[in-house]
Amino acid sequence: GLANQLSISRGEAKEYIDRYFERFPGIRDYMEETKRVCKEQGYVETVFGRRAHYPEIGSSNPQVRAFNERAAINAPIQGSAADIIRRAMIRMDAALADAGLSARMLLQVHDELIFETAAEEVDATVPVVTRIMEEATLPAISLKVPLKVDARAAANWEAAH
């Protein structure tokens, strides 16, 4: 756990965790509500309604139950991020073509899209890519917190980071 990762006592780790949840009470509320809903329904959903099932969330085995609870808490967050980037990817080719750009999407890495384009098209490509990614949930869903995309150009992936 946290104590091992930080090489501190369990008591100190508990204090860190308690202070974290005091500072961000909505996170604990989200976690508890997500576990409750999953135990009731047997699944959780992404923002687009894709379901992740956790039939063992009510297991009498504490390790199995804890694993399923953690997975149920993470699934809506990670699954929603995956749904959103897929929507952006689906729309990207048409948006680039409509803008008269030759850029090609090469790779997705988690929440990142990597493109190849001619040097003279970089300044025109970056805003198109940014707009498509930031608007990926629309018109289906209008998020309470806007998506902000950090886009940059570089000669290779390492230089971009």
Q: pLDDT-based confidence at 156, cuts 50/70/90?
A: confident
**Confidence check: pLDDT of 160 > 90:** no
- The confidence score (pLDDT) of residue 116 equals 96
- Global pTM? 0.85
The Cα 95–Cα 20 span in angstroms is 41
Q: What residue type is 117 in one-letter code?
A: T
The Cα 50–Cα 129 span in angstroms is 25
Query: What integer is the mean pLDDT of 51-71?
Result: 98
